[in-house]
């Protein structure tokens, strides 16, 4: 594939614009892992260097990172739900938890409309993802 390959689908991460730099990186990594874990078709083949040392496979396509206000994030979440797009969420509560079970409990404790979202990852047809992220802008 050339660098100008246009994919039929899009992987996108939307971050709330008021996050600290370390939070943006952490949230992006967690959200991307969620998509990769449930959508194995997004994952390519393992890597190997010239010396035969193996490396884990990664996504087959780029992950585009966007940012927006709390309101943009909430609207994107609603649109992702209405379009039934595969999605992962990261709430502000997860910054205070220390492990996976606590993370899941923190999300489970809050109603969908009350989630304090700081990040959302989605995958789907390009057009559907573009419409879902309406109002967001590319992360600088």
pTM: predicted TM-score of the whole model, two decimal places: 0.91
Minimal CA–CA distance to 34: which of 96, 117, 122, 127?
122
**pLDDT for the residue numbered 1:** 46
Sequence-separated (6 or more) residues with CB below 8 Å from residue 55: 46, 47, 48, 49
Q: With CA atoms as reference, report the closest residue to 14 among 85, 52, 86, 63.
A: 63
Q: Which residues pair with 120 in a beta bridge?
A: 14, 89
Q: What beta strand segments (E) does 25-136 contain? A: 47-48, 54-55, 63-68, 87-91, 117-125
- The terminus-to-terminus CA distance of the chain in angstroms comes to 26
DSSP type of residue 111: -
Rounded Cα–Cα distance for residues 122 and 89 (Å): 9
What tens-digit pLDDT sequence spans the chain (140 residues)? Answer: 445 678 899 999 999 999 999 999 999 999 999 998 888 889 999 999 999 999 999 999 999 999 999 999 999 999 999 999 999 999 999 999 989 999 999 999 999 999 999 999 999 999 999 999 999 999 98
């Amino acid at each position: 594939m050339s660098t100008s390959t246009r994919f039929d689908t899009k992987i996108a991460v939307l971050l709330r614009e008021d996050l600290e730099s370390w939070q943006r990186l952490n949230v992006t990594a967690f959200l991307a892992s969620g998509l990769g874990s449930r959508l194995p078709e997004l994952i390519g083949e393992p890597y190997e260097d010239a010396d035969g040392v193996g490396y884990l496979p990664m996504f087959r396509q780029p992950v585009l990172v966007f940012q927006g206000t709390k309101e943009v994030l909430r609207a994107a979440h609603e649109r992702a739900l209405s379009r039934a797009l595969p999605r992962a969420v990261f709430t502000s509560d997860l910054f205070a938890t220390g492990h996976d079970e606590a993370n899941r409990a923190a999300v489970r404790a809050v109603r969908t409309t009350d989630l304090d979202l700081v990040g959302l990852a989605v995958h789907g047809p390009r057009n559907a993802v573009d419409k879902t992220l309406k109002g967001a802008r590319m992360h600088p």
